[in-house]
Amino acid sequence: MAMDGYRGFLGLLVAALLVGFLSVLFTLIWVLHYREGLGWDGSGLEFNWHPVLMVTGFVFIQGIAIIVYRLPWTWKCSKLLMKSIHAGLHATATLLAIIAVVAVFDYHSARAIPHMYSLHSWIGLTVVILYVLQLLLGVLIFLLPWAPLSVRAAAMPIHVYSGLLLFGTVIATVLMGVTEKLFFALKNPAYHSFPPEGVFTNTLGLLILVFGALIFWIATRPQWKRPKEAGSILQPNGGAADGMEGPMAVSVSSSADRSDAELNSDAAARKRTFGLDETGQRSTM
C-alpha cells in the first residue's frame, strides 16, 4: 500500500473505532444515566440490556468483523486465521444479539406486553435469523475445507452483498428502536420539548449512522483489499476465493473472460503496490 493510501486507511480506521466506541459509550450513558440502569429482573433494567447489547454486538463488533481483512498488518497472517477471526467476531455479535432479543422478550412477558407487533420487531427478528444463517453458511462454505472452489467463487459475491445488506439493515433497525423508545419514554418533559435525553439520544443515532457510513466506505475501497496470494489458487484456504472477499472487487470473480495469468499478474502488481516482498511473508495455509 502506498504511504498515502495507508495513512488514509489508518485515518478512517481510527475515525471508525472512535465513532464506534462513542456509540457504545453513549448507549451506556443513556441507560445508566438517563434510564434506570441495568439488571435482569423483567423490569426496565432488563430491557436496557437490549440497546446496550445491540449497539455493542450487532453494530460495533459486526462492523469490525466486516473490515478485519482490510487491516494491512494482518496481511502476513494466514487466511485461515483471518477467516477464524472474521467468523469469531460475527459469532460474538450473534451471541450478543440473541441475548439482546431474549432480554426484550423477557421484559415484554413480565409486563404482559404483546410480542412482535412493531415494524422494528418484524425487521429486527428477521435480520437476526438471516444473520445466523449467513454465519452458518459462511462457516460451511468458506471456513471449513470441504466446499469446492466453484461453490466458494459462486457464493462469495452473495456473501459480501448479504453481509453489507444485513449490516445496513441492523443500523436501520437500531434507529427505529431508538425512535420507538424515545417516543415511549419521553413523556414529561415530552420528546418534542427537546429534553436533554432526547437531544443526547438523537446524537447517539447520528453516531451509529456515521459508524455505518465509515465501515461501508472502508469495506468497499478496492485499494484496501487484502492482496491475493499468487500461485495459491488451488489451496482450500488460500487462493481463489481470496480475491473476492472485498465487496467492491467482485469483478475478479465475475469476469469469466479473464485468464488466470491475468489474475496472477494482478496479484503480483498488487504485491508491488502494497510494498510486500515475494518471499513468503504471508502464509496461505
Rule CB under 8 A: which residues touch its own copies? Answer: 113-114, 117-120, 122-123, 157, 161, 165, 168-169, 171-173, 175-176, 178-180, 182-184, 191-194, 198, 201-202, 205-206, 209, 213, 216-217, 220-223, 247-252, 254-258, 269, 272-273
Omega of the bond prior to 189 within 30 degrees of 0, cis?
A: yes
CB of 54 to its own copies, least distance (A): 15
Distance, in Å, from the CA atom of 220 to the CA atom of 88, rounded to the nearest integer, reads 21
Amino acid type, 5 = G
| Residues sharing a CB contact under 8 Å with residue 100, sequence separation 6 or more, in sequence order | 49, 50, 51, 52, 53, 54, 57, 58
* Cβ at position 192, least distance to its own copies in Å: 5
**Considering beta carbons, is residue 42 or 266 the nearer one to its own copies?**
266
Minimum Å gap between C-beta 11 and its own copies is 16
Residue 70 DSSP SS3: helix
Chain centroid offset of residue 15 CA: 16
Residues 205-218 as b/e (b if ≥16 CB within 10 A, e otherwise) read bebbbbbbebbbeb
What is the nearest approach in angstroms of its own copies to the Cβ of residue 230?
Answer: 15
Asked if 62 contacts 170 with a C-beta cutoff of 8 angstroms, the reply is yes
**Would you say 144 or 154 has its CB closer to its own copies?**
154
Shortest CB 118 distance to its own copies, Å: 7
Contact at 8 Å (CB) between 242 and 231?
no
Nearer to its own copies, 42 or 195 (CB): 195
| CA dihedral angle for residue 166, residue 122, residue 209, residue 86, rounded to 10 degrees | -30
| Nearer to its own copies among residue 92 and residue 202 (C-beta) | 202
Closer residue to its own copies (CB): 236 or 246? 246
CB of 247 to its own copies, least distance (A): 7
- How far apart, in whole angstroms, are the C-alpha atoms of residue 275 and residue 161? 29
Report the DSSP beta bridge partners of residue 225: none
